[in-house]
Amino acid sequence: MSLFDELPKETPSPEPHDDAVVFPEHLQYIVIEGVIGAGKTTLANMLAQQTDARLVLEQFEENPFLERFYTDRKRWAFQTQLSFLASRFRQQQSLGGRDLFHNFIIADYTFDKDRIFARINLDGDELSLYETMFGIMQPTTPVPDLIVYLQASTPRLMENIRSRGRDYEKDMDESYIDGLNQAYNHYFFHYNQSPLLIVNATNMDFVKHPEDLNELIRQIAGLRHPGTTYFNPTSSRPALF
C-alpha cells in the first residue's frame, strides 16, 4: 500500500527559478526519513552539500549486533534495539549545541522512528522495558522543523538494498522490508508532531537525475503548510517500478 494511492495522479509543483536555494528560516532542523533502502542518507548528503548544512547521519555501522540481527532477528533483536536506542539518544543530545559554521541541520533519521523497529522486532517483557526507556529519553530530544518522508514501493526498496551491496544485507528478507514499509506508512499517516512532506519516491533517482533533486529542493524551499503535504512528482521518464 502506498500513501499516494488515493491522491490525484499529478500534484502541482512550484515553478523553477534561477536563484540560489534558500530554505525558510523556520526550517533549521530538517530530517529525511524512509525505510531501509529509500535513499534517505543519499538525499541528506546531497541536500547538505547544496545548502551547506550541518549533516547528522545515523551511526548504524557502529552497532555491534546489527550483522547478527540480520542473521537471526529473534535472538538478537533486543540487543540490537537497545544499542540503537542508546546511540541515537546520545547523538540527539548533541544537536542542541551551538554551531558557528552552519545555519541549520539536516539529518537522515528522527529519534521517534526507533520505536517503529522496536514494535516490529520486540514483544513481551523486552518490549515493555524498551518502552519504559524510550519514554524517559524521548521528551528530551529535539522535534524536527520538517520531516521529509521518502515513501517507496517494496520492490524499489529491495532493488536499492541489493544495488548497494552491503554484506549483511545480501540475504535481506523481502517480507521483513514489506512489513517495515507498512509500519512506516502507518506511522507517518498518523504523524502530527511537526510539518511533514511525504514524497512519492518510487520513481525518483536523485543521483542519476539531478532534476529530481532540484524539484524536491524547490518543494522544501516553498513549503509553508504546517501539517502534512504530499508531493507526487511528475516525469516524462519511463517508470522504474
CATH of the domain at 204: 3.40.50.300
In a domain, residue 82? The reply is yes
CA distances for 234 relative to 33, 107, 155, 197, 231, angstroms: 21, 26, 20, 16, 9
In a domain, residue 237? The reply is no
pLDDT of amino acid 239? 63
In a domain, residue 190? The reply is yes
Task: Please give the radius of gyration of the chain, using alpha carbons only, rounded to the nearest integer.
Answer: 18
By three-state DSSP, how is residue 8 classified? coil
Q: For every residue of 140-178, which 3-state class applies, written as one string?
A: HCCCCCEEEEEECCHHHHHHHHHHHCCHHHCCCCHHHHH
pLDDT of amino acid 24? 83
Q: Which residues in the chain land under pLDDT 70?
A: 1-21, 96-101, 235-241
Cα(42)–Cα(90) distance, rounded to whole angstroms? 23
In a domain, residue 16? The reply is no
In a domain, residue 9? The reply is no
Cα(241)–Cα(236) distance, rounded to whole angstroms? 14
Give the three cell numbers for residue 128: 515493555
Q: Would you say 151 and 34 are in contact if contact means Cβ atoms under 8 Å apart?
A: yes
CA distances for 78 relative to 14, 188, 191, angstroms: 45, 24, 25
In a domain, residue 13? The reply is no
pLDDT of amino acid 100? 55
Strand partners, 106: 30, 55
In a domain, residue 156? The reply is yes
Q: Would you say 167 and 71 are in contact if contact means Cβ atoms under 8 Å apart?
A: no
pLDDT of amino acid 235? 61
**Total domains present in the chain:** 1
In a domain, residue 59? The reply is yes
CA distances for 175 relative to 11, 92, 155, 157, 178, angstroms: 31, 31, 11, 12, 5
Q: What share of the chain is helix, strand, coil (3-state, %, to 5)?
A: 45, 10, 40
Range of the domain at 105: 29-231
- Spatial strand order of the sheet with 196-200 comes to 54-56, 105-107, 29-34, 146-151, 196-200, 228-231
pLDDT of amino acid 212? 92
pLDDT of amino acid 79? 97
CA distances for 173 relative to 103, 108, 161, angstroms: 40, 23, 11
Closest CA to 12 of 227, 209, 218, 213: 218
Strands 228-231 and 146-151: unpaired
